[in-house]
């Protein structure tokens, strides 16, 4: 079983609905999926409807859910999706069957299956609000019948596999295995503006071991090169949403050369990333390297809480005060600093002071539980988890400050301020729209090159004038070693950097978007 975390944060929604214009250019043999944006006024009835109903559904979906696939162990932690959040959803139109039945899908590099609603979906209201695939109307349909289940925290998408031709632009992928969804949970899909999902990840994470659409494009010789690329337009005033190109890349979409890094783990488009900088200062945790995933199905940037708290502090974002964090600083802050000064190994400090258990590479929660199986005992266990986690963060923060030759008093004050900036349970952080000019840049080191995001690029503005509110494009996700620390580089990043997914050479490339 491959476990995937799908986390969706909710505050103020701005939906840019994207409808496709699909065309090909014979002279360059590229298949282009054009995306058009339609901005919705959040003061109108539809926006209010989305804010209330879908907001509640997505709050529930912050829970972990398992994706029952064909590889990996239950403890594997993989991906995050923040679809429908503040920025854009990137839709494209495909056809299934002969003649083609049209569906609007999310092109998602963070999953690998194609699914759409089925005409045999009788008991989910969501199915009746979207086009449904009707196998009896297709001359090229082939029965399969293998069951498919995707488990969510708020329910499940269930259905069965079928085979049919899939049309993407001018390409016709023959005998493509896909899921006919016969059950779709709750409000999330009820109000979704997409009908289904077309996954562009690797087969390793495909439910039912189905061959992904992209693999069949390559295997059937339908594309010039085994490469696809995304150009996402982040200009909210521009009707052009961007372009997804199959078979190569369009030179008009980027400036200069791409920086390529190898895929380190097939499944998601995962690679090794270096340090994360706020201004020109290291944030510490990724100085020795972190893993990263680039995902077109994720709107924001997610990263370790220890770094997100530093970013929030630097940009003045308001989060939720962590009392556990302040307790650790109050009771153990001076001890942590003394141990760092004594050259103790940072990864052992929290276990040495009794808040974690050292597992040979890092501190882990001791999972203390009461002998009596009652509520108080469970709360003690949760508290132990929190204390270990914030201790690990406090060590990183203090270590960074010591490298800058700060005094003990200033270090403790700074760490307490970071406690104030820990992200809220839903992950959202609000910033002052008038303060953009004073905020620092945030940069990522990829392939030895610095990729910088300015405040205007990582802050998402909702509304205009006095009612405008600004949301940090960063949200927290903690993935432990060996898979983490892990970053998810979503649309906030991809919007600034044209992204190439090179399947033939198993690498991803980034260049400044044009």
Give catalytic residues, as residue numbers.
108, 295
What strands lie across the sheet with 507-513, from one edge to the other? 16-25, 30-39, 240-246, 227-232, 497-502, 507-513, 254-262
d(CA 371, CA 513): 58
What residue has token string 């999330």? 188
CB of 101 closer than 8 Å to CB of 131: yes
d(CA 244, CA 32): 6
User: What are the structure tokens assigned to 491, written together?
Assistant: 């649309």
Find the helix packing angle between 305-315 and 375-403, rounded to 10°: 60
Q: How many CB atoms lie within 10 A of CB 53?
A: 15
SS3 243: strand
d(CA 484, CA 135): 43
User: What are the structure tokens assigned to 187, written together?
Assistant: 């409000």
Q: Which residue in 39, 353, 29 sits closest to 217, CA to CA?
A: 29
CB of 201 closer than 8 Å to CB of 269: yes
Partners of residue 294 on adjacent β-strands: 489
CB of 173 closer than 8 Å to CB of 102: no
């Amino acid at each position: 079983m491959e476990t995937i975390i799908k986390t969706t944060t909710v505050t103020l929604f701005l939906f840019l609905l994207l409808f496709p214009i699909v065309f090909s250019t014979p002279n360059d043999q590229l298949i282009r999926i054009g995306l058009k944006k339609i901005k919705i006024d959040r003061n109108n009835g539809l926006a209010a409807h989305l804010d209330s109903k879908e907001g509640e559904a997505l709050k529930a979906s912050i829970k972990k859910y398992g994706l029952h696939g064909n590889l990996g162990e239950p403890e594997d932690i993989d991906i995050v999706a923040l679809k429908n959040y503040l920025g854009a959803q990137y839709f494209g139109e495909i056809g299934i069957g002969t003649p083609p039945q049209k569906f609007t899908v999310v092109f998602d590099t963070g999953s690998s299956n194609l699914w759409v609603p089925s005409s045999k979906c009788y008991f989910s209201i969501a199915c009746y609000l979207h086009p449904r695939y009707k196998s009896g109307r297709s001359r090229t349909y082939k029965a399969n019948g293998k069951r498919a289940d995707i488990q969510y925290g708020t329910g499940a998408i269930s259905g069965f596999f079928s085979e049919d031709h899939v049309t993407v632009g001018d390409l016709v992928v023959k005998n493509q295995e896909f899921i006919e969804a016969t059950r779709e949970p709750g409000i999330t899909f009820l109000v979704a503006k997409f009908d289904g999902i077309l996954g562009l990840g690797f087969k390793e994470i495909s439910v039912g071991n189905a061959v992904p659409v992209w693999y069949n494009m390559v295997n059937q010789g339908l594309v010039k090169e085994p490469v696809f690329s995304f150009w996402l337009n982040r200009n909210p005033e521009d009707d052009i949403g961007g372009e997804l190109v199959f078979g190569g890349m369009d030179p008009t979409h980027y400036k200069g050369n791409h920086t390529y890094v190898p895929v380190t783990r097939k499944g998601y488009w995962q690679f090794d990333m270096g340090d994360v900088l706020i201004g020109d200062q290291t944030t510490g945790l990724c100085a020795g390297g972190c893993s990263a995933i680039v995902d077109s199905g994720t709107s924001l940037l997610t990263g370790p809480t220890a770094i997100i708290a530093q970013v929030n502090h630097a940009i003045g974002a308001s989060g939720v005060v962590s009392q556990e964090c302040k307790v650790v600083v109050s009771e153990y802050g001076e001890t942590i600093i003394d141990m760092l000064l004594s050259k103790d190994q940072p990864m052992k400090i929290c276990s040495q002071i009794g808040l974690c258990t050292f597992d040979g590479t890092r501190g882990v929660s001791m999972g203390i539980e009461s002998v009596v199986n009652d509520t108080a005992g469970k709360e003690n266990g949760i508290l132990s988890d929190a204390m270990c986690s914030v201790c690990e963060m406090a060590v990183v923060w203090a270590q960074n400050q010591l490298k800058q030759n700060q005094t003990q008093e200033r270090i403790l004050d700074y760490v307490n301020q970071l406690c104030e900036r820990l992200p809220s349970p839903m992950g959202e952080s609000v910033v002052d729209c008038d303060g953009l000019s004073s905020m620092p840049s945030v940069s990522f080191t990829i392939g030895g090159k610095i990729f910088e995001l300015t405040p205007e690029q990582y802050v998402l503005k909702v509304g205009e004038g006095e009612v405008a509110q600004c949301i940090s494009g960063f949200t927290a996700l903690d993935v432990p070693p060996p898979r983490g620390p892990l970053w998810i580089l979503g649309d906030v990043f991809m919007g600034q950097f044209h992204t190439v997914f090179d399947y033939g050479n198993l690498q991803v490339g980034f260049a400044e978007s044009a």
